[in-house]
């Protein structure tokens, strides 16, 4: 039953508004591989369970502002727990399921959550770590396990007086991936999450008639906030999958209208037979979290007739830019700043705003931006300017037509002795265009003479052999000498994290001794 007191909870009120009076409408349909039954959770059932979770959390001592850390498999219960936590005035803190026990230990001592919810398979592993970090309540979401949080939920009433929360109160903390240095907890307010999802829902035209393929992880901003919050706010249905499975997605597409994915989803789906027919009912494909190759965009369009809509965002800011819903979706760009979001390109040296086509550091300001890093005031002051602009660390430019281009991460910039800056993306685009090349990653590695040297890691297309020399000569006449790779390595695949991002830190580590004496 809808409790009118949701009205005082900034985010939950907005997540519930579209489904009010539509309790029978489907929200989550189990669409995991091989699930023929496709059990459906309605909006009424979902919010009733979220209220039960809220009651269970309060019964375990949750106070407004307390963190609930969750490192668990992707399930409907985890989403109910997310909404229940926010409803109870808590702060939801999901953790990447790939984190090891020592990594989890850092998050627990940093965030000091009231409760840790974990995978039953990790319970014995994490119990001592939680105890050491002073977290005494450690539970699972296993429905069949006595004493689990799910059983505690089921014992509670589905009626909860939502705790009043203001726009600026925290709803979630998401830790940044932290490939360099310590991972930081991005504090996300009720209004940062609510406003961004409202904007995206309207921009991408989500309605109650939509059926979204939900195959992204829910410990990350893309699957938790973009996919889930938009669906809730639009009152749409989701075909809910525990992870990416190309076969399950092919089966689901004829019943769906939209999909959100990382670039690797699209690359893998392009290998599936019957893609054109399977996608004929769809209205929208969104890609983000990592760069989508123009080649993937073009091939997808040629086969399906759909132009993938690429957007750009990050843990700290939610979504910043999007290609247009109507109008040209330009491959290789991330589109325009979203309504209400300001984006500028700043000189890395002087901080002054650069002109069209000039490359610099992207800075963003808007209601979508986070409130700072958890317990790291110095880091916050370094990256979040007093005028509200957040220094993203991404390098990019705005072209003369207003499209934003991402050129790379600041930390991926290669600096060659003599002060020449090399942007990996420029070289990667040229290498990717060579015959027989599937994709590439360009990194800087230590070099005794140059400080750092350009090294290209190249993946050939399936069944095609290419040589390092062919890559080197292929780009030689297109690039200044200092930008040309000093070494080319041919590999079968690039290392990627679960969000599809190429892990350049692993490549730098693997090839760091390439030029040592
Ligand atoms: P995360 O905080 O894990 O979501 O990572 C955010 C980072 O992913 C951004 O700062 C960008 O470097 C990268 N990213 C996200 N979307 C895109 C995109 N469409 N194209 C290129 N890079 C992207």
CA 347 / ligand 1 centre spacing (Å) = 20
pLDDT at 452: 84
290 or 371, which is more confident?
A: 371
Mean pLDDT of 250-277: 96
CA 290 / ligand 1 centre spacing (Å) = 5
CA 318 / ligand 1 centre spacing (Å) = 10
pTM of the entire predicted model: 0.88
Asked whether residue 415 carries a pLDDT value surpassing 70, the answer given is no
pLDDT at 385: 94
Going by pLDDT thresholds of 50, 70 and 90, the confidence category of residue 5 is low
One-letter-per-residue 3-state SS of 297-342:
HHHHHHHHCCCCEEEEEECCCEEEEECCCCCCCCCCCCCEECCCCE
Q: What is the pLDDT of residues 203-236, one digit of tens each?
A: 999 999 999 999 999 999 999 999 999 999 999 9
Measured from the Cα of 222, ligand 1's closest atom is: 4
Q: What's the whole-number average pLDDT of the chain?
A: 93
Torsions phi, psi for 108 (to 5 deg): -70, -45
CA 122 / ligand 1 centre spacing (Å) = 29
Q: Compute the half-sphere exposure of residue 93: CA atoms within 13 Å on the CB side of its CA.
A: 27
Q: What is the pLDDT of residues 54-70, one digit of tens each?
A: 999 999 999 999 999 99
Question: Measured from the CB, is residue 322 less than 6 Å from ligand 1?
Answer: no
Question: Measured from the CB, is residue 409 less than 6 Å from ligand 1?
Answer: yes
Asked whether residue 89 carries a pLDDT value surpassing 60, the answer given is yes
C-alpha to C-alpha distance for 321 and 161, rounded to whole angstroms: 36
Residue whose C-alpha is closest to residue 117's, from 91, 88, 137, 87: 137
Question: Measured from the CB, is residue 289 less than 6 Å from ligand 1?
Answer: yes
Range in 5-9, 35-39, 160-164 with the lowest mean pLDDT:
35-39
DSSP string, 352-373: PBP-TT--EEEEEESTTS---B
Query: What stretch of H or E contains 396?
Result: strand 390-398
Question: Measured from the CB, is residue 52 less than 6 Å from ligand 1?
Answer: no
Residue nearest to atom 21 of ligand 1 (CA): 291
Q: What is the pLDDT of residues 154-194, one digit of tens each?
A: 999 999 999 999 999 999 999 987 544 578 999 999 999 99
Rama region for 235: left / alpha / beta (φ>0; ψ in -120 to 50; rest): left
Going by pLDDT thresholds of 50, 70 and 90, the confidence category of residue 454 is very high
Asked whether residue 447 carries a pLDDT value surpassing 90, the answer given is no
β-pair type (137-140, 390-398): unpaired
Question: Measured from the CB, is residue 296 less than 6 Å from ligand 1?
Answer: no
Highest mean pLDDT among 28-42, 79-93, 99-113, 166-180: 79-93
């Amino acid at each position: 039953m809808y409790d009118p007191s949701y009205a005082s909870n900034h985010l939950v009120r907005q997540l519930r508004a579209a489904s009010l009076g539509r309790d029978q409408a489907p929200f989550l349909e189990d669409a995991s591989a091989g699930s023929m039954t496709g059990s459906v959770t309605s909006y009424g059932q979902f919010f009733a369970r979220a209220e039960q979770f809220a009651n269970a959390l309060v019964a375990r001592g949750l106070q407004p502002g307390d963190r609930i850390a969750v490192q668990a498999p992707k399930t409907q219960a985890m989403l109910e727990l997310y909404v229940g936590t926010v409803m109870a005035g808590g702060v939801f803190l999901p953790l990447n399921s790939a984190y090891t026990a020592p990594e989890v230990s850092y998050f627990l001592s940093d965030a000091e959550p009231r409760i840790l919810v974990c995978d039953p398979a990790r319970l014995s592993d994490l119990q001592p770590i939680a105890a050491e970090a002073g977290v005494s309540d450690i539970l699972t979401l296993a429905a069949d396990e006595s004493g689990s949080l799910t059983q505690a939920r089921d014992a509670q009433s589905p009626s909860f007086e939502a705790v009043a929360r203001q726009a600026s109160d925290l709803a979630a903390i998401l830790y940044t991936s932290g490939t360099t240095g310590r991972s930081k907890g991005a504090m996300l307010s009720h209004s940062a999450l609510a406003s961004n999802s409202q904007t995206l829902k309207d921009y991408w035209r989500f309605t109650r008639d939509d059926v979204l393929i939900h195959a992204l992880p829910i410990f990350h901003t893309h699957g938790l906030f973009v996919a889930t919050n938009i669906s809730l706010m639009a009152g749409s249905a989701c075909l809910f999958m525990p992870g990416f499975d190309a076969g399950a997605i092919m089966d689901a597409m004829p019943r769906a209208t939209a999909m959100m994915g990382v670039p690797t989803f699209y690359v893998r789906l392009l290998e599936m037979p019957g893609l054109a027919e399977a996608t004929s009912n769809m209205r929208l494909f969104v890609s983000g979290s990592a760069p989508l190759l123009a080649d993937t965009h073009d091939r997808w369009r040629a086969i399906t007739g759909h132009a993938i809509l690429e957007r750009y965002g990050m843990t700290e800011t939610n979504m910043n830019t999007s290609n247009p819903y109507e109008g040209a979706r330009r491959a290789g760009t991330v589109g325009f700043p979203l309504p209400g979001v300001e984006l500028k390109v700043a000189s890395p040296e002087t901080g002054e705003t650069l002109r069209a086509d000039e490359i610099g550091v992207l800075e963003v300001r808007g209601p979508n931006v986070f409130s700072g890093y958890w317990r790291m005031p110095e880091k916050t002051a370094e990256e979040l300017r007093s005028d509200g602009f957040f220094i993203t660390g991404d390098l990019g430019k705005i072209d003369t037509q207003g499209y934003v281009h991402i050129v790379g991460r600041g930390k991926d910039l290669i600096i060659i002795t003599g002060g020449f800056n090399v942007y990996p993306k420029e070289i990667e685009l040229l290498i990717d265009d060579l015959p027989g090349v599937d994709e590439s990653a360009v990194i800087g590695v230590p070099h005794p003479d140059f400080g750092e040297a350009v090294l290209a890691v190249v993946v050939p297309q399936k069944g095609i052999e290419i040589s390092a020399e062919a890559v080197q000569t292929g780009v030689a006449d297109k690039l200044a000498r200092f930008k040309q790779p000093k070494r080319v390595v041919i590999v079968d695949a690039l290392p990627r994290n679960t969000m599809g991002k190429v892990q350049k830190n692993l490549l730098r580590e693997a090839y760091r001794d390439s030029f040592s004496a």
